[in-house]
Every structure is written in C-alpha cells, then in structure tokens.
Amino acid sequence: MLGDHLAMDLLNTEARNNGEVTEYWNSGNDVLRWLERCGVASALTARSVDLEELLAQGIALRTLARRLIVQRKEGQTGDINALNKYLHAYLSAPHLERNCGGNLVLTRTVHGEPIASLLGPVAEAVAQLLVEGDFTLVKQCEHPDCILWFYDRTKAHKRRWCSMASCGNRHKAAQFRKRSSGKTG
Ligand SMILES: [Zn+2]
C-alpha cells in the first residue's frame, strides 16, 4: 500500500492516469477485497454484508475523508459531524485472545451492524490522521497527472512521488527528454 497510512490508501482507491480517473471500487466486493488487503475486514464481519450498501457507504466515506483531509491541509476546519456518524456506529471492545503460538494478543471485537464494523476502522484512521497527523507529511504525488496521496515517513521527508517506479521514473524520463532536446535544439 503506497499511501503508508490507511487514510491515504482510502483516497488512493481512486487514481488518475492520462487524464482519466480510474475507479478501483466498482462493486461491494471490490471494497471488501480492499478492506481485507488492509487487514481491516475479518471473515466474521464480512459474512452477511449488503454489498451494494457497503459500496455506497464506502464511497461516501472516501468523499468525506478527501474533503476533510484537503481542508485540513489547506488550514481550514472541516465539518467533522459526518465523520462522527461513522465513528459512533463503530461499536467495538478490546478483546484478549491467544494466537497460534499460544501468546496473548489484544485485538478488538465488533458488536455493531456489519457495514459500520467494516468501515469503522477506516473512519478511525481518518480521524486519527486529522488529530495526530503531521500535515506537512501528508502529500499528494507531485506528478501533474497523478492524484495519489501518501504519508511521507522517509527519514529526510523528501518523498515526492507515489512510487519511484511509476511517477518518479515518468518525471525522470521527461527531464531527460527536456535536457536532450535542449542540447540538439
Ligand atoms: Zn504519482
């Protein structure tokens, strides 16, 4: 996950390439698979979920998160009430269990309605970012054709690209073309 923060990876489920927006969430199953990849969805909560509703609420949460994060980045105070609705619906309790090695681990067990339980940890990550995040490290890829976000955890805090392999290289190639055309022309 190249966002390096769950809230950033949420925004990155929508990308842009050659001026076209790519939507990675086209169905409730897409959302579910993403949640599983992020380690958020457990098989238990995912069993009997209304997939259409999950897609609708997931996209609404993403739109809301983007607005709040952009506003915060611009130094504005956003309307947090809508985010509180997701947070309040996320009912969970600390839960002790033994892992396969027999060691105690502290996890959380959910009690609420399935969709609220699935999206709750994501909403919490957005809230946590708004509260504790260093917004000078909340960055959007510098490539003009890219809209991906990341939390810059590099030591020097000089990360500029969503990924060096794609946008970093695209930039380097463009610089190289510019330089070599300058030489010949
Ligand atoms: Zn990029």
Q: Where are the domains of the chain?
A: 6-184
Distance between Cα 84 and ligand 1 center (Å): 31
Average pLDDT for the chain: 91
State pLDDT tens for residues 114-136.
999 999 999 999 999 999 999 99
Q: So what's the pLDDT on residue 171?
A: 87
Distance between Cα 169 and ligand 1 center (Å): 10
Mean pLDDT of 28-52: 84
For residue 46, name the pLDDT band (cuts at 50, 70, 90): low
Distance between Cα 115 and ligand 1 center (Å): 31
Distance between Cα 114 and ligand 1 center (Å): 34
* CATH pick for 6-184 out of 1.10.3300.10, 2.60.120.460, 2.40.70.10, 3.40.50.150: 1.10.3300.10
Mean pLDDT of 73-102: 93
Tell me which residues have their CB within 5 A of the ion that is ligand 1: 141, 143, 146, 148, 162, 167
Distance between Cα 161 and ligand 1 center (Å): 5
Distance between Cα 1 and ligand 1 center (Å): 13
Question: Do the beta carbons of residue 117 and residue 45 sit within 8 Å?
Answer: yes
Distance between Cα 15 and ligand 1 center (Å): 9
The dihedral built from the CA positions of residue 39, 84, 133 and 147, taken in this order, carries a sign that is: positive
Q: Torsion over CA of 121, 124, 130 and 132, rounded to 10 degrees?
A: -90
Q: So what's the pLDDT on residue 1?
A: 81
What residue type is assigned to position 67 of the chain? R
152 vs 176, more confident: 152
d(CA 86, CA 76): 21
For residue 48, name the pLDDT band (cuts at 50, 70, 90): confident
Say whether pLDDT at 183 is over 80: no
d(CA 92, CA 70): 29
For residue 107, name the pLDDT band (cuts at 50, 70, 90): confident
